[in-house]
Amino acid sequence: MSEISKEKEKSILNAARKRFAHYGFSKVTMDEIAGDVEMGKASLYYYFPTKEDLFKAVVVQEQSEFVNNIESLLRKQISAAEKLNEYVEQRLKYFRDLVNLGALSVHSVFDIKSMFKKLFEDFEAQELILLGKIIEEGKSNGEFSNDLSKDFVKIFLHILQGLRFRVVKLLNEHKADEDTYKNLECEMKIATNYLIKGISCK
């Protein structure tokens, strides 16, 4: 792909992200996005044949940014416990961005996940690898117990997912307000700190 094509694709993704974040997946049209980037709909379809393809590309972009942020976190000279807490903060930000992109209700989250089932499965696999690296670092430096179950990382992720899903159920057709996210952040931090205490050697 030429540099011009890459820049055009980037412009399309940025315009689409703004549209999805403001109106939600179901209410955005390809005509509107084409208008935002001042190109014909036929040209837009050259880059993204369907709205689902475009939405998927936006979600992949969000996921890639999250993964890059966590990989940067892994290189920080801080404790494994601090990395776990920062991971939770980054994951909450990603969750908020994803909610905004789809204006997710309990119904649309299942529609989108079924549309891009493998995409979400692959992302979860990446998350498990990244979290596993933090846990292994904590075990190797003596922060965390070496007797941890091999399923601990998966259990930790599932606890966080469960807390987030409760918020998704509350969304219905409305976007969450700031108090909703603050409560979720508080619950996630409490759960994370209790889990860290449970596996700590100190």
Question: What's the pLDDT tens digit per position in 39-82?
Answer: 988 999 999 999 888 988 988 888 899 999 999 999 999 999 99
Is domain 57-199 classified as CATH 1.10.357.10? yes
HSE (side-chain half, CA atoms, 13 Å) at 90: 22
Domain 1-49 has CATH 1.10.20.60: no
Q: Tell me what the mean pLDDT of segment 27-38 comes to.
A: 93
Q: Do domains 1-49 and 57-199 have the same CATH topology?
A: no
Domain edges within the chain: 1-49, 57-199
**Taking the model in full, what pTM does it have?**
0.83
Whether residue 102 is predicted with pLDDT greater than 80 in this model: the reply is: no
Model pLDDT, residue 66: 93
For residue 105, pLDDT beyond 60: no
Q: Output b/e per residue, 107-142; b: 16+ Cβ within 10 A.
A: ebbeebeeebeeeeeebeeebeebbbbbbeebbeee
Give the model's pLDDT for residue 115: 62
Q: Residue 95 corresponds to which tokens in the numbers above?
A: 């969750």
